[in-house]
Amino acid sequence: MSVPRPGPVSEVIIEVQGLELRGYHGALEEEQRSGQRFLFDVTLVAHDAGVRSDQLADTVDYTAVVARVREVSDRHRFNLIEALAAAVADDLLHHFPASRVRVRVRKPEVQLEAPAEYTAATVERSRL
């Protein structure tokens, strides 16, 4: 008698790129008082996420991801975009069935001594 073998497992990469939210983060008092735009690039790696069933309930819902990012950004004021990216990554890994999460936070309105398109911090988290 043979034991049925499981089918191949798919690694699904789910992305939300360029999510624009207003936040009150920054090391300067003015940034925390006036707020500014932040851009979030989020990548979640899930396995077989809806590939076989074609059902939303079996994957990571993009609208739920956006809601979690907004919740983390709105709930706390961070001095550093590194800490903001880490908090978002931790939250997403906690709330979704992903094996890995990557969050990049871009700050397009950064004020430096020379022109720059943006500054960014990226944090990657994975389940052990």
pLDDT digits (tens, 9 = 90+) for 78-97: 999 999 999 999 999 999 99
> Of 73, 107, 123, 125, which residue is the catalytic one?
107
CA 115 – CA 128 distance, rounded (Å) = 40
Q: Give the pLDDT score at 106.
A: 98
Is 17 among the catalytic positions? no
Residue pair 69/19 in contact (Cβ under 8 Å)? The answer is: yes
Per-position b or e across 9-24, b if 16+ CB within 10 A of its CB: eeebebebeebebebb
The CATH number of domain 11-126, selected from 3.20.20.100, 3.30.1130.10, 3.40.50.12780, 3.40.50.970 = 3.30.1130.10
Question: What are the backbone dihedrals phi and psi of residue 37, each rounded to the nearest 5 degrees, phi first?
Answer: -80, 140
Confidence of residue 76 (pLDDT cuts 50, 70, 90): very high
